[in-house]
Amino acid sequence: MRKSALCWINGQLIPASEASISVFDHGLLYGDGIFEGIRFYNNHAFQLAAHLTRLADSAAAICLLIPYSQEQLTQAVTELVEIFPDSTGYLRLIVTRGTGPLGLNPDSCTQPTVLIIADHLLMVNQNQRQQGIRLMIASTRRTPTDSLDGRIKSLNYLNNILARIEANQAGFDDAILLNQSGFVTEASAANLFIARDGHLYTPHTADGALQGITREIVIKLASEQTLPVSETALTAYDMYTADECFLTGTGAELIAVREVDGRLLRQCPGPVLTTLTRLFTELIHRQTS
């Protein structure tokens, strides 16, 4: 945490270093809660409405009533971004079940905890951004969607973290998680695309991928360029034989993948990613100026 980090917690704005939550918060005790990661550029939160909609959907899916309206959360985000010392940064909006006695019964928590942290985020370094990243396919499989729907952006990230630990230990930058059927879902904290013969492919959310907001934007930008996009089942073989591969996410933005399991991809970054990165940057500029 940097000195400049700020926090809005249950309606109060304070330096993040002074913000605290109870040890009895069920977000901490059980991972019972949801979150959003939002970037801001030029003092404007990017895709805020889409993030608040997904937060509301995650809340509905886990029977969590957010005690603030979309308008109040928009107001809180706007205030936080305005007073943050830099015009560019990252917001983490978290809603937990709130404090309650030990024991996981959510009905024992009466008031959800809502907090928004404003800070910087460096998910990949300059070298990785320029050269592309190296991925491995993890042996850790994605939690099945009939156990926990991948569209719920919950505070339970252990599945993703276990895959990332595998990547760290093997000397890779990140991991790809397959689902129980062996189909590609996503990376540990980003969606995944491949390009092959001028066609873009990404796993379907039903296979276990988060319905990423950056993913949706990339699909739309590609379609507008008459670049065909398919949401489809992908296997390790499709990764190894792709012309290009890249990750998308709020933290990641668009990152080229250089190799998968030691197989060098044909193009990194290739023409598809180069075009989409330009269009994405232009969109950010248009929407945040």
**Catalytic (active-site) positions:** 153
Least separation in angstroms between residue 24's CB and ligand PMP is: 26
d(CA 104, CA 86): 39
d(CA 250, CA 46): 9
Least separation in angstroms between residue 204's CB and ligand PMP is: 14
Among residues 31, 67, 106, 251, the one that binds ligand PMP under rule CB under 6 A: 251
Least separation in angstroms between residue 251's CB and ligand PMP is: 5
Least separation in angstroms between residue 107's CB and ligand PMP is: 28
Site for ligand PMP in 16-45 (CB under 6 A): 37
- Determine, following the binding rule CB under 6 A, whether residue 123 of this chain makes contact with ligand PMP: no
Among residues 64, 91, 109, 210, the one that binds ligand PMP under rule CB under 6 A: 210
- Determine, following the binding rule CB under 6 A, whether residue 189 of this chain makes contact with ligand PMP: yes
- Determine, following the binding rule CB under 6 A, whether residue 191 of this chain makes contact with ligand PMP: yes
- Determine, following the binding rule CB under 6 A, whether residue 99 of this chain makes contact with ligand PMP: no
Shorter beta-carbon distance to ligand PMP: residue 213 or 272 = 213
- State both tokens at 182: 């062996």
Shorter beta-carbon distance to ligand PMP: residue 45 or 190 = 190
Binding piece for ligand PMP, criterion CB under 6 A, among 81-89, 211-219, 265-273, 277-285: 211-219
Least separation in angstroms between residue 48's CB and ligand PMP is: 12
Among residues 98, 212, 269, 270, the one that binds ligand PMP under rule CB under 6 A: 212
Number of chain residues interacting with ligand PMP (CB under 6 A) = 15
- Determine, following the binding rule CB under 6 A, whether residue 272 of this chain makes contact with ligand PMP: no
Among residues 29, 93, 190, 195, the one that binds ligand PMP under rule CB under 6 A: 190
Residues linked to residue 25 through DSSP beta bridges, in sequence order: 99
- Determine, following the binding rule CB under 6 A, whether residue 143 of this chain makes contact with ligand PMP: no
Shorter beta-carbon distance to ligand PMP: residue 113 or 185 = 185
d(CA 254, CA 247): 6
Residues with Cβ within 8 Å of 141's Cβ and at least 6 positions away in sequence, in order, are 177, 178, 179, 180
- Determine, following the binding rule CB under 6 A, whether residue 249 of this chain makes contact with ligand PMP: yes
Shorter beta-carbon distance to ligand PMP: residue 100 or 166 = 166
Rounded to 5°, the CA angle 44-33-18 comes to 65
Residues of the shown chain interacting with ligand PMP in the complex, contacts defined by CB under 6 A: 37, 160, 186, 189-191, 210, 212-215, 248-251
